[in-house]
C-alpha cells in the first residue's frame, strides 16, 4: 500500500513536470509540485482558504493577529509574496483598501486574484458615522461596511468565490477542492441555523458593541447593533456621543457592553463603569493569535463563542 502511494506520488510529479513543459510559452503556469500556493490578507480569508485548499498546498496570511486590519500598509515582502502566489485572496476593496494599487504594481504577475466579497452587495454606512470618522481617518475611511465574513450566509459566498479562484489555478485537483468546500459550506449552514434558532423568539434584540463590525449579523437575524466606535476603527467617540450612549443604555436597561479582545476596549470599559453594565467579548475575527489557533480556535469556534456571548443579551 505504501509502495503504491509512493509510486502514485512519483507518477503525478512526473505528470506535473510534463504538463509544465508542454505549457511553456503559454501564460498558464501550473502549480508547483509542492502544491498550490495561496496568499491571504487577514484571518477569515486565511481560514476560508485553508478549508478549501486542505492538503493540496499551502495557505499563508499577511496580517498577524493584533495588526490593525483596517488601514493596513503592506510591506515590500507582502507585495512580493502576492506576486509569487498562485492565488491571492482578499475580502474587498473596502476592507483592504491597499489592494488595488498593489495589484497595479504587480501587473506582470500571473497570480489569480480573488476578491471574496465581489458578489456581495455591501451596505452603505450611515451618513452620520461617515462624517464622524472622515475627520480623523482621512482616505482610509470606509464608505461601505466590509464586515461580511461575520455573516455565515455571506461567508458561504466568500468560500464559493475562493473555490472558483483555486480551481482556475489548479484544475487537476478539482474534486478534492470541491469536496472540501462542500464540507465547510455544510458547517457554515449549521452555524447559520444555530444563529437563527437562538434569536428566533428573542424579545430583546438590541446589543451595544465597541467596534461596529456586526452590521451584517444584525441584518441577517433582525437584531439592532448600537456601536460605540465606527466600522473602521476603535477610536473613541466624542463626549456628547458617549453621553448619548450612556443614556441609551439606561433607558433601554442594557446591562452588557461587548468589546473585541484584540483591540482597544477603553470606551467600552468607560461605558460599562458609568452604567454598571458588564463587559463581554464579541470577536470581529479580524485576527486570532497563534496561541489561540494552536489551542484549536478557528472561524467556526469563535463564531460559536460569539453566539454564546450574544445569547446573554439577545433573549
Ligand atoms: Zn473591523
d(CA 149, CA 70): 14
Question: What's the helix, strand, coil split of the chain in %, to 5?
Answer: 50, 10, 35
Centroid of ligand 1 to alpha carbon of 172 (angstroms):
36
Contact of 279 with 259, CB cutoff 8 Å: yes
pLDDT for 130-149, tens place per residue?
444 444 444 455 689 999 99
Asked whether this chain's domains 3-194 and 199-310 adopt the same fold, the reply is yes
Centroid of ligand 1 to alpha carbon of 109 (angstroms):
29
Centroid of ligand 1 to alpha carbon of 148 (angstroms):
10
Residue 5 pLDDT > 70: no
Residue 262: the pLDDT is: 66
Residue 73: the pLDDT is: 92
Tell me the average pLDDT of the chain. 86
Residue 27: the pLDDT is: 44
Q: Where are the domains of the chain?
A: 3-194, 199-310
pTM: 0.86
Centroid of ligand 1 to alpha carbon of 288 (angstroms):
13
d(CA 260, CA 265): 7
| CATH number of 199-310, picked from 3.40.50.1580, 3.90.1180.10, 3.20.20.370, 3.40.50.1980 | 3.40.50.1980
Residue 299 sits at the vertex; the CA angle it makes with 166 and 144, to the nearest 5 degrees, is: 75
How many whole angstroms from its chain centre is CA 87?
17
Centroid of ligand 1 to alpha carbon of 128 (angstroms):
18
Centroid of ligand 1 to alpha carbon of 308 (angstroms):
20
| CATH number of 3-194, picked from 3.40.50.1980, 3.90.180.10, 3.90.1410.10, 3.30.420.40 | 3.40.50.1980
Centroid of ligand 1 to alpha carbon of 125 (angstroms):
13
Amino acid at each position: 500500500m505504501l509502495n503504491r502511494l509512493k509510486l502514485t506520488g512519483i507518477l503525478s510529479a512526473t505528470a506535473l513536470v510534463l504538463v509544465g513543459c508542454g505549457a511553456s510559452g503559454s501564460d498558464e503556469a501550473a502549480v508547483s509540485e509542492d502544491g498550490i500556493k495561496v496568499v491571504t490578507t487577514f484571518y477569515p480569508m486565511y481560514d476560508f482558504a485553508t478549508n478549501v485548499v486542505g492538503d493540496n498546498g499551502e495557505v499563508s496570511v499577511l496580517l498577524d493577529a493584533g495588526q490593525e486590519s483596517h488601514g493596513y500598509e503592506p510591506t515590500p515582502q507582502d507585495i512580493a509574496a502576492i506576486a509569487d502566489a498562485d492565488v491571492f485572496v482578499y475580502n474587498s476593496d473596502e476592507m483592504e483598501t491597499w489592494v488595488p494599487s498593489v495589484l497595479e504594481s504587480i501587473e506582470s504577475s500571473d497570480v489569480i486574484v480573488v476578491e471574496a466579497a465581489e458578489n456581495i452587495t455591501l451596505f452603505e454606512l450611515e451618513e452620520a458615522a461617515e462624517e464622524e470618522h472622515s475627520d480623523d481617518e482621512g482616505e482610509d475611511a470606509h464608505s461601505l461596511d466590509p464586515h461580511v465574513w461575520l455573516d455565515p450566509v455571506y461567508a458561504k459566498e466568500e468560500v464559493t468565490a475562493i473555490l472558483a479562484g483555486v480551481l482556475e489555478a489548479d484544475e487537476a485537483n478539482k474534486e478534492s477542492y470541491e469536496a472540501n468546500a462542500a464540507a465547510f459550506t455544510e458547517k457554515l449552514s449549521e452555524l447559520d441555523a444555530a444563529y437563527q434558532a437562538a434569536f428566533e423568539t428573542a424579545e430583546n434584540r438590541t446589543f451595544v458593541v465597541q467596534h461596529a463590525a456586526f452590521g451584517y449579523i444584525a441584518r441577517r437575524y433582525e437584531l439592532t447593533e448600537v456601536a460605540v466606535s465606527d466600522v473602521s476603527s476603535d477610536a473613541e467617540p466624542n463626549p456628547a456621543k458617549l453621553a448619548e450612549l450612556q443614556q441609551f443604555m439606561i433607558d433601554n436597561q442594557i446591562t452588557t457592553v461587548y468589546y473585541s479582545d484584540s483591540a482597544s476596549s477603553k470606551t467600552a470599559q468607560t461605558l460599562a463603569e458609568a452604567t454598571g453594565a458588564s463587559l463581554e467579548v464579541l470577536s470581529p475575527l479580524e485576527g486570532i493569535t497563534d496561541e489561540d489557533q494552536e489551542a484549536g480556535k478557528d472561524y467556526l469556534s469563535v463564531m460559536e463563542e460569539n453566539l454564546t456571548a450574544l445569547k446573554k443579551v439577545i433573549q
